[in-house]
A and B are shown apart, each in its own frame.
Chain A
Amino acid sequence: MTSSTSNFEQLRLDGVTRRFGPPDTPAALSELDLTIERGEFIALLGPSGCGKSTALNCLAGLLPLTAGSIWQDDRRVDTLPPEKRGFGMVFQNYALFPHLTVRDNIAFGLRMRNLPKSDVQRRTTEAIEMVQLTEHTSKLPGQLSGGQQQRVAIARATVLEPSLVLMDEPLSNLDAKLRLEMRTEIRRLHQSLGLTTVYVTHDQEEALSMADRLVVMRQGKVQQIGTPEEVHTKPSTWHVADFMGYRNLLPLKASQLNGDQVTVDLGGTAIRGAAQGPVAPGDDVIAAVRPEDVKLADQGVKGLVEVVEYQGRERAVEVVLDGGVQDGVAQDPVRLHVRTERRVEAGEQVALTVTPGRLLVYPS
């Protein structure tokens, strides 16, 4: 059996649900609908515990579904056991077979397929060369570094040229530098082998840089599906915004509405933002803006510098704004995260402006 026979044009997840426990408990994964095109690189993104691994294990066949179905073109696959699906999987802790050498680990899947010895030999050697482990072929996994183990895991899962490769936070156990290198390498492999990949991560930067499409999840539910750019610039909810680096999530009140332009009151100054949902004047809203879209200026919203973190070229600055008085009640002070190249110090009075169009206003 070669994997190309089981290759598909589309993989469709239809209301895939998985619950651990009785029916009244919240589902770990709830009604996931997703269509994956052949050759796509999809990232499942979300905070720890949001159901990413559950989704991946359901796809791999390692967890039975509570409800829903998975279709490979017109063939239903969610009823097949994992060994019949032909999907490759890279596990978070690599799950290399500790008693087998690097070569035998990588050849494992080929041997299970009863391919001729010479084929196994050739394809294994190619895979070993591809992940640059030629000098380590006869070592046991325990004798390898984390990055090398990772490469073995990737080679083992991809040597079969599976119709779908599933990766569960494969880089989370590596150090920062190696993580960057491996990112590029995984992306390169994906392209050169023409793989279809579903990649799980909780690191938004990783997801943005690697994926063609992101699926952002929270508490078992899909929040948004879109290209990295869509998710980055137009998060669908403030939870997604939070996850996409909008560090400033300010609980404010909408005062005026003009088309999808909302005016909110920030530290006594009226600021315009783009409404991202139904908002009416007087509503409590959450205004989201990235630190890099808040600038120190000569005039604007007044505030007091509280914390300064030196971060190389830039400084991350925390500014406290006066909450002001609303309806005769003193409001809590608002904290804003700002990035600036200007040399500021704690205790300094500063003025801030928000880059026009970069403030997103969500109903709370």
Chain B
Amino acid sequence: MSATWQHRLAERGVDRRLWLLLPATIFVLLLFVYPFLYGLSLSFQPTQGGGVLANYDKFFGDAYQRDTIATTLKIALPAALLNVLAAVPIAFRLRGRFRGKRLLTTILVVPITLGTVLTAQGLLNYLGPTGWLNRVLLSLHIVDNPIRLTNNYWGVFFSLVITGFPFAFLLVLSYLSGIDPTLERAAATLGASRAQRFRRITLPLLAPGLATTFLLTFVLAFSVFPSAVLVGNPAGSTRVISLAAYQAAYEQYDYSYASAIAMVMGAVELVVVAIVLVWRSRLYTGSTGGKG
């Protein structure tokens, strides 16, 4: 290879240091790409025969199955959106340095580490038909019958907010602290009110980070499974797509069909991710002047 070529490649970031990526590349290939390709090819080999696309025909031809897509989106999109939108004002208030910040962030990490099963357990205790909330409401005669907040849509929704919000909050907080606070002060000296500073300076600089946060919480919410079963209504309003895949694989033992459902699930997620990324790519994504 001639020297000029090396320079040209180096300019595009291609040089010997790229070999350092090799272990990570192998890891990704083994752990993600191979299972994916295996599943993909499996999905095109239907157990009952009937052509390459038979599994997909079966899924989309059956309204009960097809509707799981909408059901999942109806839970995952609002939950992800709420997590991001609620995280912004709270992170905005807490972005400076203050006493007990570390404690607060630690407390917020706890729900993430608990996982969905423990969260579901807690939800049933608090919000279930005989949970604390209903007992208080009943004893105060605010309601006559226990209000139903579990084993339906709301149970799953709360569970996704409890596990997803801390995650969104921590991400948004770190994006916010990457924005130079002097920018807002500069805007203030130029006559921008608090709301205008947020709208014109902070929000545009934060938006790419919000898009990323939304995607991550969305993907987490989309693959919701335990809470859909434990605090949801898995036969009806919270029959999510991962549940359909589970039933195909472990109740009907049709791995090929289950793979097809998993592929559909991946495709739907990809569509949402692509839409958000296209929107994000039109935003300003360069330096935000801060330390991060």
Bound CA–CA A254/B182 (angstroms): 51
Bound CA–CA A91/B180 (angstroms): 12
Question: Is there a chain B Cβ closer than 8 Å to A160's Cβ?
Answer: yes
> In the assembled complex, how far is the CB of residue A210 from the closest CB belonging to chain B, in whole angstroms?
21
Flag if A142 contacts B182 (CB, 8 Å).
no
Flag if A113 contacts B191 (CB, 8 Å).
yes
Bound CA–CA A109/B242 (angstroms): 52
Bound CA–CA A60/B188 (angstroms): 9
**Residue numbers in A under 8 Å from B180 (CB-CB):** 93, 95
**Residue numbers in A under 8 Å from B196 (CB-CB):** 112
Chain A minimum-CB-distance residue to B189? A89
A66-89 interface (Cβ within 8 A of B): 81-83, 85-89
Question: Is there a chain A Cβ closer than 8 Å to B101's Cβ?
Answer: no
Bound CA–CA A96/B185 (angstroms): 11
> In the assembled complex, how far is the CB of residue A305 from the closest CB belonging to chain B, in whole angstroms?
49
Asked whether A98 and B191 contact (CB < 8 A) given A89-B186, A91-B182, A112-B196, the answer is: no
Question: Is there a chain B Cβ closer than 8 Å to A140's Cβ?
Answer: yes
Question: Is there a chain B Cβ closer than 8 Å to A157's Cβ?
Answer: yes
Chain B minimum-CB-distance residue to A92? B182
Provide the B253-290 mask, 1 if CB < 8 A to any CB of A, else 0.
00000000000000000000000000000001011110
Flag if A87 contacts B189 (CB, 8 Å).
yes
Q: Which of B64-72, B84-92, B125-133, B197-205 contacts A (4 or more CB under 8 A)?
A: B197-205
Question: Is there a chain B Cβ closer than 8 Å to A8's Cβ?
Answer: no
Bound CA–CA A129/B289 (angstroms): 27
Bound CA–CA A250/B292 (angstroms): 48
Flag if A95 contacts B183 (CB, 8 Å).
yes
Flag if B189 contacts A83 (CB, 8 Å).
yes
Question: Is there a chain B Cβ closer than 8 Å to A117's Cβ?
Answer: no
**Residue numbers in B under 8 Å from A112 (CB-CB):** 187, 190-193, 196
Bound CA–CA A93/B186 (angstroms): 11
Asked whether A62 and B185 contact (CB < 8 A) given A112-B190, A156-B190, the answer is: yes
Asked whether A98 and B187 contact (CB < 8 A) given A83-B192, A93-B182, A108-B200, the answer is: no
B160-219 interface (Cβ within 8 A of A): 180, 182-183, 185-193, 196, 200-201, 204-205
Question: Is there a chain B Cβ closer than 8 Å to A343's Cβ?
Answer: no
Bound CA–CA A156/B180 (angstroms): 18
Q: How many residues of B contact A (CB 8 A)?
A: 22
Question: Is there a chain B Cβ closer than 8 Å to A342's Cβ?
Answer: no
**Residue numbers in B under 8 Å from A87 (CB-CB):** 189
Flag if A98 contacts B288 (CB, 8 Å).
yes
Question: Is there a chain B Cβ closer than 8 Å to A99's Cβ?
Answer: yes
Bound CA–CA A271/B101 (angstroms): 63
Bound CA–CA A157/B188 (angstroms): 11
Bound CA–CA A157/B191 (angstroms): 11
Flag if B205 contacts A98 (CB, 8 Å).
yes
**Residue numbers in A under 8 Å from B185 (CB-CB):** 60, 62, 82, 91, 95
Chain A minimum-CB-distance residue to B288? A98
**Residue numbers in B under 8 Å from A85 (CB-CB):** 189
Q: Does more than half of chain B's interface fall in helix, strand or loop, or is it mixed?
A: helix
Flag if B182 contacts A82 (CB, 8 Å).
no
**Residue numbers in B under 8 Å from A95 (CB-CB):** 180, 182-183, 185-186, 289
**Residue numbers in A under 8 Å from B289 (CB-CB):** 93, 95, 98
**Residue numbers in A under 8 Å from B288 (CB-CB):** 98
Partner of A108, one of B182, B190, B193, B205: B190
**Residue numbers in B under 8 Å from A82 (CB-CB):** 185, 188-189
A123-165 interface (Cβ within 8 A of B): 140, 142, 156-157, 160
Flag if B191 contacts A91 (CB, 8 Å).
no
**Residue numbers in A under 8 Å from B200 (CB-CB):** 108
**Residue numbers in A under 8 Å from B189 (CB-CB):** 60-62, 82-83, 85, 87-89, 157, 166
**Residue numbers in A under 8 Å from B183 (CB-CB):** 95, 97-98
Bound CA–CA A88/B286 (angstroms): 26
> In the assembled complex, how far is the CB of residue A82 from the closest CB belonging to chain B, in whole angstroms?
4
Partner of A140, one of B188, B204, B286: B286
**Residue numbers in A under 8 Å from B205 (CB-CB):** 98-99
> In the assembled complex, how far is the CB of residue B142 from the closest CB belonging to chain A, in whole angstroms?
43
The interface centre, meaning the residue of B189, B286, B287 with most chain A CB atoms within 10 A of its CB, is B189
**Residue numbers in B under 8 Å from A140 (CB-CB):** 284, 286
Flag if A81 contacts B188 (CB, 8 Å).
yes
Bound CA–CA A88/B185 (angstroms): 11
The interface centre, meaning the residue of B182, B188, B190, B200 with most chain A CB atoms within 10 A of its CB, is B190
Flag if A97 contacts B187 (CB, 8 Å).
yes
Flag if B186 contacts A91 (CB, 8 Å).
yes
A301-344 interface (Cβ within 8 A of B): none
> In the assembled complex, how far is the CB of residue A145 from the closest CB belonging to chain B, in whole angstroms?
16
Asked whether A83 and B182 contact (CB < 8 A) given A98-B287, A98-B289, the answer is: no
> In the assembled complex, how far is the CB of residue B195 from the closest CB belonging to chain A, in whole angstroms?
11
- Of all A-B residue pairs in the complex, the 9 with the closest CB atoms, nearest first, are A99-B284, A109-B190, A95-B186, A82-B188, A112-B191, A89-B189, A95-B182, A112-B192, A83-B191
| Sample of 19 A–B contacts (CB below 8 Å) | A62-B185, A81-B188, A83-B188, A83-B193, A91-B186, A93-B289, A95-B289, A96-B186, A97-B187, A97-B201, A98-B286, A98-B289, A112-B196, A142-B286, A142-B287, A157-B189, A157-B190, A160-B190, A166-B189
Given contacts A83-B191, A98-B289, 14 further A-B contacts (CB under 8 A): A61-B188, A83-B188, A87-B189, A88-B190, A89-B186, A95-B180, A95-B183, A95-B185, A98-B286, A98-B288, A108-B187, A112-B192, A140-B284, A166-B189
Q: Chain A residues in contact with chain B, CB under 8 A?
A: 60-62, 81-83, 85-89, 91, 93, 95-99, 108-109, 112-113, 140, 142, 156-157, 160, 166
